[in-house]
Amino acid sequence: MSTTINADVLVVGFGKGGKTVAAKLGGLGRNVVLVEQSDQMYGGTCPNVGCVPTKALVHHSRKRRPEDAPQEWYARSVAEVHALTSMFRAGNRDAMQSAETITLLTGRARFTGPHTVEVAQGGGHATVTADTIVINTGSEPIVPDIAGLRDSKRLVTSTDLIHSTDLPERLVIIGGGYLGLEFASIYGQFGSQVTVLEAAPEILGRLDDDVAEAALDVMRGEGVEFVTSAAVTEVRDGVAQTDVVYERDGQRHSVPADAVLAAVGRAPVIRGLDLDAAGVRTSERGGIEVDEHLRTSQPHIFALGDVNGGPQFTYISLDDSRIVLDHLVGEGRRSRADRVAIPATLFMTPPLATVGLTEREARAAGHRVRIAKQAVADIVAMPRAYVVEETRGLMKFVLDAETDEILGAALLSVDAQEIVNTIALAMRHHVTAAELRDAVYTHPSSTEALNDVLAMSEGGDRRPGAC
């Protein structure tokens, strides 16, 4: 059975950016077709296999008491997280299906021409033609080409791991980036013995050494083992375990595992789209090539989110949708160049949030800098850290010595993922460190730490007593 649909707008991929474009244009009366290849991915990566389930697991892992059996607690946590993601998925589906101007198709899409896509569904296919097309197919985990890895029965991706109710006793993570470190923190807290193998000589090497070491010390204190300069050469399955073989300093080593997580990054999902048929070019790194306005080599086709090779964050996909919508129904002025001071958070516990330049980067760029830094345990104006029993970490600010503006910040602390948004907003609007230092914040809160930490950049101790 085949059908033909003529639409104003076709959105391929039900991610954050795609659904935002579809909802907005549908609300303006445009005839929109939204295609998603799986009914398990309505809403995209974030609510199904990304941000929501992983951060929910962070929360559940921290609630486990010493007397709670790890496997039992983990299985219960995964079940609760699955219930949460199912709720989000259903909400996304219902929001689209209830809109009279939006048609939701579930099936695999492939281009047959610049304006035409064929969608393979269970009982046949649909041919969709549209004046404007938006590609929002996201990204997928990369499995590196290591001997024995892809065939290993104990190989897991991040998606596999969060869908399993079996807690691995020994988890080996290949890759020490943000994804690998988040899973190391999560599963270490659930009770797994975690080993992280990183090929580079440093983990979190982009950060200043003091910040990176503070973050790693937190995880080491929870039992996570890190091995740097570790080139994984082979993965060997045995009956009772898998051995992950790596070379370091010219010597071969191996570490046993019940599960091996490949956490070396994610690649844009373009396989099967037949982009050549639409005349859409891809970049050397495998993403869809776009300009600053997210137009592809075909002016009527846009690519947003992970698939365009940009930063792989849900909030970037959302901002991508704003750029596209501005060009379709707005003034056409927004572009990726407008983005300033975009924060990022590694959701370990406590979270590590960063924005702007590191001290090393600021000095290399020629800035005269002042540094404001304190250990969280020493910030007397931040009693919230003691209230919630999380005093680990530090806060570090890189300040321009001439303008007093904030060049960058690294926050390893409770609520860092929230505080960093205030810092980023201040940076975008050229609010000085002195203004943040002297601002009035609620009490007890984490934000009021700015009163204390930013005072330290003056070289003196202006701190009042706690409370």
55 is in an annotated binding site: yes
176 is in an annotated binding site: yes
198 is in an annotated binding site: yes
459 is in an annotated binding site: no
123 is in an annotated binding site: no
Residue 6: phi, psi to the nearest 5? Answer: -105, 120
18 is in an annotated binding site: no
122 is in an annotated binding site: no
- Is 443 in the active site? yes
19 is in an annotated binding site: no
**Looking at this protein, which amino acid is placed at residue 128?**
V
Decide: residue 349, CB within 10 A, 0-12 exposed, 13-18 middle, 19+ buried. buried
Taking residue 466's Cβ as centre, other Cβ atoms within 10 Å add up to 12
205 is in an annotated binding site: no
137 is in an annotated binding site: yes
Left (φ > 0), alpha (ψ -120 to 50) or beta: where does 279 sit?
left
148 is in an annotated binding site: no
179 is in an annotated binding site: yes
289 is in an annotated binding site: no
Q: CB–CB of 402/368 below 8 Å?
A: yes
* Active-site residue, selected from the candidate residues 59, 367, 429, 443: 443
If you count them, how many residues does the chain have? 467
Q: CB–CB of 359/369 below 8 Å?
A: yes
Residue 126: phi, psi to the nearest 5? Answer: -120, 140
Residue 6 CA to chain centroid, in angstroms?
35
Taking only Cα atoms into account, the Rg of the chain, rounded to an integer number of angstroms, comes to 24
Q: CB–CB of 210/188 below 8 Å?
A: no
Q: CB–CB of 281/270 below 8 Å?
A: no
Known binding-site residue numbers for NAD(+) = 175-182, 198, 265
Known binding-site residue numbers = 55, 137-139, 175-182, 198, 265, 306
Q: Which residues are catalytic?
A: 443
Known binding-site residue numbers for FAD = 55, 137-139, 306
